[in-house]
Amino acid sequence: MPPIHDIRRGVQAAGGYLETPEGDIRGLIYAGAVAWLAGQGIAAGILLDLTAQDIPAQGLFLASVHPGIRRPDLPPPGRGGHLVLVFGQDAAGALRFHNPSGDTPATQEDVRLAPGDFDRFFAGRGIRIG
């Protein structure tokens, strides 16, 4: 696996990130990210207007959620603006995902939320991978 900054530079070169005049990186541009993935031989596509029930059961899905998803017991102030990697469902139908910016191991790795709870944070868009 290449270093994360090498990946970021490749995605940025494909139009997946924009740099501000101050040198900060703005949020992910889906079309550029999909173009970079295609260049790596990885099938991907942008999906819009979804509910959590619509998230593909196979493969991976990069979902736009509110960062407050790390505290699902609290109402989110909005939807989107943060990315989590959905990788499946458990036997009860809860979505399983990784959230690298979670603040505890329980909110970072193999997090599980029922689709209705996930929907409160989900912006209804993302990238299907695979």
Question: Which H, E and C letters describe the chain, residue by residue?
Answer: CCCHHHHHHHHHHCCCCCECCCCCECCCCHHHHHHHHHHCCCCEEEECCCCHHHCCCCCEEEEEECHHHHCCCCCCCCCCCEEEEEEEECCCCCEEEECCCCCCHHHCCCEEECHHHHHCCEEEEEEEEC
76 and 124 in a common domain: yes
pLDDT in tens, 15-72: 999 988 998 888 899 999 999 999 999 999 999 999 999 998 889 999 999 999 999 9
Would you say 116 and 51 are in contact if contact means Cβ atoms under 8 Å apart? no
97 and 80 in a common domain: yes
Give the count of domains, the chain. Answer: 2
pLDDT in tens, 100-127: 888 999 999 999 999 999 999 999 999 9
Task: Give the model's pLDDT for residue 22.
Answer: 93
35 and 66 in a common domain: no
Task: Give the model's pLDDT for residue 1.
Answer: 75
Q: pTM for the whole thing?
A: 0.92
52 and 12 in a common domain: no
- pLDDT surpassing 80 at residue 94: yes
What range does the domain containing 72 cover?
Answer: 45-129
76 and 20 in a common domain: no
